[in-house]
């Protein structure tokens, strides 16, 4: 990867090769944010396995990631649904067989759409819970034994950098919407709140075994599907003044947070949430969105994902 390409995915602070010999397993790895996280880790020495439902997209992304570093090994397994534990476990076992183990896990598979409770069917609500929350739990369960093995090999005393590097770490990709709530996102907020709690429980139960479990919570990240949908609801589509940093974030900044947690810098960070949103969540909630002016759009009879609504 050329220097100008590297700058898109990670900061210049990180030393090359810090993840040499490590393996990262990522669900949702072909997505905008997760692909940047994994690509940065691959650049810094890791091999990787990404999974997704779309075969062509997942395999294409894996090939692209492998070009980040000479001799990098990146597996892309499509037709894997995180809602199906057996399918996911099979992918995990294939990853271990081909790459030798798993040191880091990113649980990033997610689904979302805009809908008020009045138009949110039980099936639609459950689909997001199943992908985001149940899928995160399945990812944890399927990789846990391998994370334990890696953690046992890479204990840190907090004073010296482990000679064999770090391992036994999991990151759950969450969000900030659930902190204060936001219209049209009941399903997403409930799912992400559950993920936050799941991560905390993992930290409590498996911290004594050397595993660290943390949340990375991206906010409005430029050129991602999430910001395309949610910026209108939060009123950020035409006014960035509500973001204290004054701009959208970049996938590189999410990747940097990931590197921090997986590297020696994150050895004593466990059960934490790293919010990457420029301070945006401090101002979110009910907004002055022109697309969805509160409370009128909630009192309308028809609301759809294209911001069309009919006043009473």
Which strands sit side by side in the sheet containing 104-107, from one edge to the other?
74-77, 47-51, 23-27, 104-107, 169-173, 212-218, 273-276
- Give the DSSP H/E element, type plus range, for residue 276: strand 273-276
Q: How far is CA 258 from CA 37, 47, 162, in A?
A: 7, 15, 19
Of residues 94, 76, 205, 64, the one with CA closest to residue 140? 205
> Which DSSP letter does residue 132 get?
I
Q: Which of 68, 136, 156, 174 is catalytic?
A: 174
Residues 6+ apart with CB under 8 A from 228: none
| Nearest-angstrom CA–CA distance, 40 and 24 | 11
Calpha distance 186→176 (Å, rounded): 13
**DSSP string over 164-216:** T----EEEEE--SGGGT--TTBHHHHHHHHHHHHHHHHHHHHHGGGT-EEEEE
d(CA 7, CA 9): 5
Active site residue 192: yes
The crossing angle, in degrees rounded to 10, of helices 85-99 and 135-153 is 30
Query: Do residues 42 and 65 lie in contact, with contact meaning Cβ atoms separated by under 8 Å?
Result: yes
Among the listed residues 136, 192, 250, 287, the single catalytic one is 192
Q: Is 141 a catalytic residue?
A: no
User: Which stretch of DSSP H or E encloses residue 27?
Assistant: strand 23-27
Catalytically active residues, by annotation = 174, 192
């Amino acid at each position: 990867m050329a220097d100008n390409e590297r700058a898109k995915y990670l900061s210049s602070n990180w030393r090359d090769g810090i993840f040499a010999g490590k393996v990262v397993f990522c669900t949702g790895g072909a997505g905008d944010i997760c692909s940047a996280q994994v690509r940065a880790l691959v650049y810094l020495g890791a091999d990787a396995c990404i999974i997704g439902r779309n075969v062509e997209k997942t395999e294409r992304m894996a090939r692209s990631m492998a070009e980040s570093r000479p001799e990098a090994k990146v597996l892309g397994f499509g037709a894997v649904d995180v809602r199906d534990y057996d399918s996911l476990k099979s992918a995990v076992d294939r990853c271990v067989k081909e790459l030798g183990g798993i040191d880091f896990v990113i649980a990033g598979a997610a689904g979302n759409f805009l809908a008020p409770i009045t138009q949110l069917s039980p099936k639609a609500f459950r689909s997001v819970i199943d992908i985001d929350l149940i899928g995160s739990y399945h990812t944890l369960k399927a990789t846990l034994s391998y994370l334990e093995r890696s953690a046992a090999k890479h204990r840190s005393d907090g004073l010296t950098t482990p000679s064999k590097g770090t391992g036994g770490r999991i990151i759950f990709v969450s969000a900030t919407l659930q902190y204060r709530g936001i219209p049209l996102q009941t399903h997403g907020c409930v799912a992400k709140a559950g993920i936050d709690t799941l991560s905390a429980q993992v930290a409590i139960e498996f911290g004594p075994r050397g595993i660290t479990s943390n949340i990375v919570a991206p906010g409005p990240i430029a050129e991602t599907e999430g910001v395309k949908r949610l910026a209108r609801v939060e009123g950020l589509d035409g006014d960035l003044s509500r973001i204290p940093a004054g701009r959208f974030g970049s996938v590189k900044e999410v990747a940097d947070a990931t590197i921090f947690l997986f590297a020696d810098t994150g050895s004593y960070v466990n059960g934490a949430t790293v919010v990457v949103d420029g301070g945006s969540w401090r101002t979110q909630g009910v907004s002055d969105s022109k697309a969805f002016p509160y409370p009128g759009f909630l009192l309308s009879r028809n609301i759809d994902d294209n911001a069309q609504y009919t006043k009473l």
